[in-house]
Chain A
Amino acid sequence: MAMTDRRRSRRDDGPGAAPPVEIHVAVPDALLEQLVTEHYDRLLRLARLICRDASDAADAVQTGLEQGWRRRSALRSDASARAWLDRIVVREAVRIARSRRSWLARLLHPSEQLTWIEPPDERASNGLDRAALRTAFAALSPEQRAVVALHLHLGYSVAETAAIVGAPEETVRSRLRLARQRMRPQLVEVDR
């Protein structure tokens, strides 16, 4: 095999892995379990914010964790693993969210989350109309929701967020600024 073959085979981490001749019963790998245990909840919450759909969020996380496991050799530390997984899941979640956003796509893939009539949620701040907030948040682009979720929910800095979403810092700041601008009318501070 020429050297070029070798390098490309190292790069091409395509999906799929089943036996050519035998089927074995899977026993979850300890490392995989550890990966899921440590990161699953955070990744699911992150994807949920971007996708606005539980099923899509779970799909994005599954893809991210699977890729994370397959490229486990590249994970040198817990810190890098966290940011790396967040990056994969964010990009997958944005991709899924974008594919779901047209009215035709929503018709084909109805979301359980599109029911706005709900009892008040005590976790939301007093004085806030949570339904209006959700509407405003859902009106943001997936890319904007990703930036808001990474920066304000997970606490990444602007620079870290830019690295994760693969955009210049200016773009991240711009998305944050404009997301705030869009959300601001729904978040009024009432003189009491």
Chain B
Amino acid sequence: MTKEETSLKEDLASNIAYLKNGIGQSSDILFQDFSIGQDKTPAILILTEGLTETLLISDQVIRPLQHQEFCRKQNLIKCISSSILGIKTDQLRTFSEIGKAVLQGNGVLLVEGYSTGLSIEMKKIQQRSLEDPENESMLRGPKVGFIEELRTNTALIRQRANDPNLTIKEMLVGERNEKKIALLFIKGLTDRELVEDMIKRIRNIKIDDPMESGYIEQLIEDYPYSIFPQVQTTERPDRVVSALLEGKIGILLDGTPFATIAPITFNAILQTPDDYYQRWIPSSLLRILRYLSIFITIFLPGLYIAFVAFHPGLLPTTMALAIAGSRQNVPFPPLIEALLMEITIELLREAGLRLPKPIGQTLGLVGGVVIGQAAVQANIVSALMVVIVAVTATASFTIPQYEFSLSLRVLRFINMISASIFGLFGVIMGFLLLIGHLCQLESFKYEFYEPILAKDRKDLKDALLRLPLKLLPTHTQKSKPLSSKKQR
């Protein structure tokens, strides 16, 4: 959509008439006329009600201008902006610039006889107070999350990372609704090629309105068809800062509290900053637990189906008997049983998200316990199946990154189906396919997944276990392998 690039004329009345036909059609656009100075030069202040600070308007703009005596007729606009008004101003020449300025919350001053308008900064920012991010609660760590205003978010980062090399580069994205997007990186630490690549990708985004960082993420990824996300989303400033210190890039979008971090590796998805705030033995064990949960959440129902339907001989005798006993009156084959339970859990999960809070919690309890118990007693599913599904669901919640757990759910279903067709062989083939995909995946030209044996020695100390902080490389040390590898 092309915007008119018509320029202002010197005649105030015709300018106003033009504008009133454009943005003036909306009732919240105000045209306040007054006269400037002793000469009583006619002037109009155009502003959007609700976006501007009412106090500012009368105190700091209109009254000083009405009483001004300093500026004489020579270049009134320039004189006003440099000497009278103490607020940041911009000179505008086209109607589209005026429209944009007004709609962004600035006030625009038009004076009779001048073809230049003055945009005066008087934004009132609607923002909520800083809160603990709900979806990423941690036991230990700062209880601050991003909010929707870009400026506040960058300020939060700056408060935590006062390294002078921390660079924030802002760009505009969006065809119809332009939004500011900020790229954060630490100069000298982050690979220069990566930064340039990222800038290029963002420039190439063609979208009407980037409403949420999710849009941005999907449009800059290399492998949009993969199940795994190649970026990380977070609401926490401390996560962004630690990512920056690892040489990654942070992306903040105006209008959403969710920041994006790129590139990421598989391990990064399983790590949380409070791993580092706690002592090393519990942290290492928790990390191992998370790896275990990934395995459980993808493969447990599939394995159950494989064993029960294809290879009951591989289970110990008493267990096999118990399972056979609990499945005595169940009319469905194991796959259908598993699918029924899984789908029920998914229904409960989605419903819990949409419902208002008080009902949501009750429903969770009711759904989980009552439905499960009733289903077992009605012999629709076996008791063991309920246990397995519950354990699987719990395991998927231990994964710090929500998008990742979504991917894992899909994988779980695929795994169940392949297990029901091919038994253990199907599970193994599914596993191999998954590994193959992981190993081929790249996140912005960085390896997504490196098995332990393929790692650099320095990264090993942080890979599976989290060794004591004294032994971990400091970030200045880490930057060296990064820079030595990039020169190839």
A, B assembled together: no
